[in-house]
Structure 1
Amino acid sequence: MENFNPLRDAIPAGEIRRALVIKLRHHGDVLVSSPVFSALKASAPQAEIDALVYADTAEMVTLHPAVAEVHTIDRKWKKLGVVGQAKAELALFNALKARQYDLIIHLTEHWRGAWLCRLLKPRWSVGPAVKGRSKRWKQSFTHVQTMHNALRHMAETNLDALRRLGIQPGPDERRLKLVPGEPAERAVAAHLAGFGLAGKDFIHVHPASRWFFKCWPVERMAAVVAQLQAEGHAVVLTAAPSKDEQTMVEAIQARLATPAFSLSGELSLKELAALTQAAKLFIGVDSAPMHIAAAVGTPVVALFGPSGDKQWGPWGVPARVITSQQHPCRPCGADGCGGGKVSDCLTILSAEQVLAAARELLAS
């Protein structure tokens, strides 16, 4: 006997042949949507499930076992001129049209998803309710997902799109998933061998975020690294190749009696995931690398300031989230206090708080 489903407009998962999941946001946002692919595949194993993401975030979903094809939009298309961009857009549309999707799941407020639902005409489609949007937005979808408040983690909010269709995710499918791949794992193993390290004998520290108002003071992070070294732990530092992040790592290294091992600016996203997967602990701030750590199953110590830890904290792994209890104004989402790029709720956090959390996870 089939289980009773109280949702009157639930879709028959067994009839889905092809589905498209659209997530046009940053790296961490895309990775936090990875459970949608796992849960949909578990409910519709016969379906081919594609992703549509920005080109620079594609590595967040490539090699995912539930993803058939990854379609991308390159932000650089705008530099091709009117004709060049039109050709690129048309090629993408034709590729999507050829897939003949039965279902489109649109996970953001981006208008492109609504227009694709209208143009591709899937049998079913779901998009988020967006306050202030016209009827045209709502009428672009067969189902509209009710959005939740900031106390609900974004992984669950993404999965709510499936729940709106009558598909209930199981506990095994709700974790984030990122597959580094063998080439990335081999490259990282070679780097570690050069340091005299192997898997699970080092701590990975990624101190930066692309948004610097989310970053902890350099001297505080250097104090944590120095104490971990004093306690016998090898530390590997990473950062993106941007000048600001490179400068941050250099400032940390300059404060250490013995410089940490560093792969700053040297790794692809897949290689960063492979490194984190090989670590025994990850320490960082609210950033895509923090979500990568959760997706590869590495315990996480995460520092949160103005951003919301309930909505964006480490998901599905042993974790300690360090936040200020003295700032009732957080999470405010502001670009530093008063827009000054420095967040008091982060600068107040002590090195000892982070070290205590790290020791707890290392001992567990």
Structure 2
Amino acid sequence: MLIDAIDLTAVRRVLLIKLRHHGDVLLSSPVLTALKTHAPHAEIDALVYHDTREMLSGHPALSQLHTIDRQWKKLGPLGQLRAEWQLLSVLKSRQYDLVITLTEHNRGAWLVRLLKPRWSVGPQGPYGRFFKKTFTHRYLQVPGNRRHTVEVHLDALRRIGIYPAPDARALTLLPGADAEASLAAKLAASGLVPGGYILVHPTSRWLFKSWPAEKMAELINQLTARGERILLTAAPSADEMAMLADISARLQRPVASLAGQLSLKELAAAIASARLYIGVDSVPMHIAAAVQTPCVALFGPSGDIEWGPWQVPHRVVAANMACRPCGNAGCGGSWRSECLEKISVQQVLAAVDSLQEALA
């Protein structure tokens, strides 16, 4: 029996802190849902980096979304201090009873000290004495214990007596009416209709997670030879657009592309409208899970148990190599991942066929 569970009836406001990348933030969305389910009377806020805000904006359990802009450092010492102080003032005015941080970032520990909530939850680990002494509750993180990141996040709630039901742990991402409308116009201009295309997102911001361009192009060629309609997407970064250009140059038939042309919310709408998603371990793969679009995901150095598609029909394709998942930026830090290069086009096609047969 948990002897230090908190009294949820005494919780009026909660702050959830997740200062990580886009995918990590989206994978924290079930925590908001579970909190609201178990404490429907409470106001639940979140604090994330400004560039990741669209992963949680519009979440039905969210009262207020606060952000830290990593560009504040360009304001100079005084400007950054002013921005930080303004954020702290807003957070203090909320008078949180419970603060939960899902990362070992020291900013979360400092905020707990400054906001002085009655209860606070943080991860347990070798993060130093200051971090260790900050929280009223710390949830266990067992080294080498391979569990999905969503479950690890939910451990923060289990530690204080909240146990979400297995069917209540879904990801939540709402594209919004504006994004859906603008995406619909772009689809129409590309000659596509909702449900009539496969969305292929070949890239990741970390290119060592990407499948070779020549293999991705061959996969698309084989799909279009079958009569499949394809929509290509990618982030507007120079590296990702260069990879898309390489893939496009190898295609035997024209395909629609909105690469570099979509906001995150529009991308979510595009994935939600797709019949199937194909991509690598990246934010769009998690978006596919959130909007319940069946997906085929290629995994290399990263762990599919920890980061795979969550609660959505899917197939994971990965090479059977003893060294994976290693978590490295390519073999030996080379930004080339042999475990991805070993995946064949036929393996991915077989995964696509298997998933589509299961959905039929």
Q: TM-score, normalised by structure 2?
A: 0.98
| Stretch of structure 1 that moved more, 25-34 or 249-258 | 249-258
* 1:256 and 2:254 aligned: no
Partner SS, residue 109 of structure 1: coil
The CA deviation string for residues 276-318 of structure 1, in whole angstroms up to 9 with x for no partner, is 0000111000101111111111111000011111100110100
Alignment match, 2:338: 344
RMSD: 0.9
Alignment match, 2:281: 286
Of 171, 176, 188, 1:176 maps to 171
Counterpart among 303, 327, 352 of residue 333 in structure 1? 327
Q: Aligned partners of 2:156 and 2:210: how far apart in 1? A: 32
Partner residue in 2 for 1:159: 154
1:112 to 99, 107, 110: 107
1:82 maps to what in 2?
Answer: 77
Q: For 1:46, which of 41, 44, 51 is the aligned residue? A: 41
Which amino acid is the alignment partner of residue 355 of structure 1? Answer: L
Q: CA deviation at 1:357?
A: 0.9
CA drift at 1:150:
4.7
Matched, 1:32 2:27: yes
Aligned counterpart in structure 1 of residue 90 of structure 2, from 78, 95, 105: 95
Picking from 39, 53, 66, the partner of 1:58 is: 53
Q: 1:362 & 1:150 partners in 2: Cα distance?
A: 32
Q: Distance in 2 between matches of 1:150 and 1:258?
A: 46
Deviation per CA, 1:35-85, whole angstroms, max 9, x where unpaired?
000011100001111010000000000000011111000000000001100
Q: TM-score, normalised by structure 1?
A: 0.97
- Structure 1 residue 259: Cα displacement: 2.2
What amino acid sits opposite 1:323 in the alignment?
A
CA displacement, residues 222-245 of structure 1 (integer Å, 9 cap, x when unaligned): 111111111111000000001110
Per-residue CA deviation, residues 239-274 of structure 1 (Å, 9 max, x unaligned), is 000111011111111111112100000000000000
Asked whether the equivalents of residues 11 and 165 of structure 1 are also in contact (C-alpha less than 8 Å), the reply is yes
Aligned to 2:194: 199
The list of structure 1 runs, each at least 4 consecutive aligned residues, that deviate by more than 3 angstroms after superposition, is: none
Count residues with an aligned counterpart.
357
Instruction: State which drifts further: 302-311 or 134-143.
Output: 134-143
Residue identity (%): 59
* 1:142 partnered with 2:136: yes
Greater alpha carbon shift after TM alignment, 68-77 vs 135-144 = 135-144
Tell me the secondary structure at the aligned position of residue 52 of structure 1: strand
Partners of 2:125 and 2:69 in 1: CA distance: 25
Deviates more, 1:102-111 or 1:7-16: 7-16
Partner of 1:14: 9
1:120-154: CA deviation from partner (whole Å, max 9, x where unpaired): 011111000121x3332122110011013351000
Distance 1:162 1:115 in 2: 21
Partner of 1:3: none
Q: Which runs of 5+ in 2 are unaligned?
A: none
Amino acid at match of 2:326: C
CA distance in 1, matches of 2:314, 2:9: 37
Q: Secondary structure at the match of 1:283?
A: strand
SS in 2 for 1:96: helix
Asked if 1:123 is matched to 2:118, the reply is yes
What is the distance in 2 between the residues matched to 1:179 and 1:241?
Answer: 22
Partner amino acid, structure 2, of 1:333:
G
In the alignment, structure 1 residue 303 sits paired with structure 2 residue 298: yes
Question: Is 1:150–1:310's contact at 8 Å kept on the other side of the alignment?
Answer: no
- Contact in 2 for aligned 1:304/1:323 (Cα 8 Å): yes
